[in-house]
Copies of this chain bind each other. A is one copy, B any other.
Amino acid sequence: MILSGQLCVAQTAEPVNDWKPCPSNQAGKQYPQYNSEGRVKFRIVAPEAKSVGCTFRDSSEFKKGEDGAWYGHTRPLDEGFHYYAIKIDGAEVPDPNSRYYFGSSRWGSAVEIPATDADFYALKNVPHGQLREVHYFSKSSDKLRRIYVYTPPDYDKSTRKRYPVLYLQHGGGENETGWGSQGHAGLIMDNLIAEGKAKPFIIVMENGGVSGPRPTNAAPVGAGPGGRGGFNFSAFEKVVTEDLIPYIDANFRTIAKQPQRAMAGLSMGGMQTRSIAPAHLDKFSHIGVFSGGSIAVTNITDLAAFKRR
């Protein structure tokens, strides 16, 4: 009885009251907020709604506060970045207070709970590189494709210096905007370079097949390579090796040699890296697989070459 009473108290205890606005909020918005437990609290104005909630499992019941708005909070979450939606009388909609990101296969809300070591991706007054939106024509997919390219600070200062290249792929349900937006890839690089912890290199971020190039006035992209639901690794392999690498080497000041070319990716992007890079050891010397499985002997076409490299 005593034990069960304690458990009950623990479950219904009020969250720690040290809430701060999330850095992923729209400018000037006080909600969503996060606390030191990693909970996220929402505030939703829905005066005539019967019920309000969010898509995080095990969240508190949402209740109307004294100001008439609905409030509710999540269980403690891992620090970092989470996609979600708000529920209003059965409708799943973006939270009007958050900014919007491409994840979970849609543009929608997400919340960032700053990481303990968030300083490494903070915006600082150091020399900054550029994040470039680039359209190029991919012959193998017969399509104009949109990519983002990070060029390091001073890329435009020298006209002779050439750089290594990392091809960096997003996770499933994300797209070519992910690493540069919610992934803070440019800020991470800027800070590492400023601290002398990384040599400058170019990062190329393509769309691994979840959605195709989707400039603001193009027709919706269908299924198939580069379309929604297109987990077509072999089509993407062609895009990377036949179209993308030659385009980047022709249009950016790269060191266009295998020892200076890397591929890495998160989750689905890791799986793609694991599938593509070991099969093209003439092109890639460095391989990074983040939550994308491990490279088995069976993934290596030419084991002798893999060992040499």
Contact = CB atoms under 8 A, between A and B. Distances in A.
A21 interface: yes
A3 interface: no
Contacts of A180: 133
A218 B99 CA distance: 13
Q: List the number of copies, as a whole number.
A: 2
Contacts of A112: 216-217
Interface string A113-133: 010001001110100101111
Interface string A191-225: 00000000000000000000111111111111000
A246 interface: no
A182 interface: yes
Contact of A134 (B44, B94, B130, B251): B130
A48 interface: yes
A49 B89 contact: yes
A225 to B, nearest CB: 14
B92 A96 contact: yes
Interface string A61-89: 00000000000000000000000011011
A227 B213 CA distance: 33
For chain A, what secondary structure do more than half of its interface residues adopt (helix, strand, loop), or is it mixed? loop
A27 to B, nearest CB: 5
Contacts of A96: 85, 91-94, 106, 108
A46 B23 CA distance: 29
A159 to B, nearest CB: 4
A198 B194 CA distance: 39
A23 B218 contact: yes
Interface of A: 21, 23-29, 44-51, 85-86, 88-96, 99-100, 106-108, 112, 114, 118, 121-123, 125, 128, 130-137, 144, 156-157, 159, 180-182, 184, 186-187, 211-222, 227-228, 251-253
Given A45-B90, A94-B100, A112-B217, 20 more contacts: A24-B216, A27-B214, A28-B211, A46-B90, A46-B91, A49-B49, A49-B89, A86-B93, A89-B89, A91-B96, A92-B96, A93-B95, A94-B96, A99-B107, A100-B107, A118-B217, A123-B213, A125-B137, A130-B133, A132-B133
